[in-house]
């Protein structure tokens, strides 16, 4: 048993009994951790409030981590970056729902990964502080693959196709799982850029759906057991 002070990002929150929550967090120091927070839904007083555990909230926590248990306990919780728009803007709410579901499906490691934590922290602050966010989720997913180990190989970008299975560009455009033509052009617009450049990238509604489907397929091919998120349908409605 160890007492740990760390930053943490909430990935999901599940009601447990009438008054408790099980919260899954991605922590800066120890990766994925789950916490049982007893009585938080009924407590009128106390330092730990249910509102702290909305998806993608950024926290500073002091927790007891038990090597023999999947459920840990929280001693102290503070919000590090109070979001101004994420929970009040319907479009951003939908993006948050979608991304938290993707992260819950893709992050499994219970170990420190500072570059990944920093990416998530920075990305969600960017989402909160910018207005033109219709392509944010596309770039977020693509750049997340850097930390998951299958970011597209940018060598040979001038070739005529991109092989989703191999993650690289190719001229063998007749094979299965090859992106060509306009779909390839859409993908290239997102490669190698950061969030500040996303406002200059323009996609039609149809193109946005096309590239999202491509990226989801890319995840399915490279991550065992990854399935299309349920919240994808909500995202389609919001951006259509």
Q: Looking at residue 42, what is its pLDDT?
A: 86
The whole-angstrom separation of Cα 180 and Cα 169 is: 10
Q: Looking at residue 90, what is its pLDDT?
A: 93
Q: Looking at residue 141, what is its pLDDT?
A: 97
The whole-angstrom separation of Cα 133 and Cα 37 is: 33
pTM of the model: 0.94
**Domains of the chain, start order:** 2-79 (2.40.50.140), 90-238 (1.20.1440.120)
Ramachandran category for residue 177: left, alpha or beta (phi over 0 → left; psi -120 to 50 → alpha): left
Task: Work out whether the CA dihedral 6, 12, 16, 20 comes out positive or negative.
Answer: positive
Task: Work out whether the CA dihedral 49, 51, 54, 57 comes out positive or negative.
Answer: negative
Radius of gyration of the chain (CA): 19
Cβ pair 142, 215 in contact under 8 A: yes
Q: Looking at residue 69, what is its pLDDT?
A: 86
Q: For residue 98, give the nearest of 234, 1, 196 by alpha carbon.
A: 234
* 52: exposed, middle or buried (Cβ count in 10 Å: 0-12, 13-18, 19+): buried
Task: Render each residue's pLDDT in the chain as its tens digit; 240 residues.
Answer: 899 999 999 999 999 989 999 999 999 999 999 999 998 888 776 788 889 999 999 999 999 998 888 999 999 999 999 999 999 999 999 999 999 999 999 999 999 999 999 999 999 999 999 999 999 999 999 999 999 999 999 999 999 999 999 999 999 888 889 999 999 999 999 999 999 999 899 999 999 999 999 999 999 999 999 999 999 998 888 887
Helix axes 90-106, 136-148, angle to 10 degrees: 20
The whole-angstrom separation of Cα 121 and Cα 58 is: 7
Q: Looking at residue 236, what is its pLDDT?
A: 85
């Amino acid at each position: 048993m160890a007492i740990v002070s760390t930053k943490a990002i909430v990935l999901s929150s599940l009601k447990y009994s009438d008054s408790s929550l099980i919260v899954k967090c991605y922590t800066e120091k120890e990766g994925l951790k789950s916490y049982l927070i007893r009585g938080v839904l009924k407590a009128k007083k106390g330092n730990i409030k249910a509102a702290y555990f909305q998806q993608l909230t950024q926290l500073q926590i002091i927790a007891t981590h038990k090597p023999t248990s999947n459920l840990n306990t929280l001693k102290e919780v503070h919000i590090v970056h109070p979001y101004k728009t994420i929970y009040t803007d319907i479009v951003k709410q939908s993006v948050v729902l979608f991304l938290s579901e993707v992260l819950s499906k893709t992050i499994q490691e219970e170990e420190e990964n500072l570059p990944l934590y920093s990416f998530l922290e920075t990305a969600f602050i960017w989402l909160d502080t910018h207005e033109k966010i219709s392509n944010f989720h596309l770039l977020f997913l693509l750049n997340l693959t850097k930390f998951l180990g299958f970011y597209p190989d940018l060598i040979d970008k001038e070739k005529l196709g991109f092989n989703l299975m191999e993650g690289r560009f190719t001229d063998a455009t007749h094979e299965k799982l090859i992106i060509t033509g306009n779909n390839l052009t859409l993908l290239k617009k997102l490669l190698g850029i950061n969030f500040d450049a996303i406002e200059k990238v323009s996609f039609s509604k149809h193109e946005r759906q096309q590239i999202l489907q491509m990226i989801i397929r890319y995840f399915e091919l490279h991550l065992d057991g990854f399935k299309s998120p349920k919240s994808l349908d909500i995202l389609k409605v919001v951006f259509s």
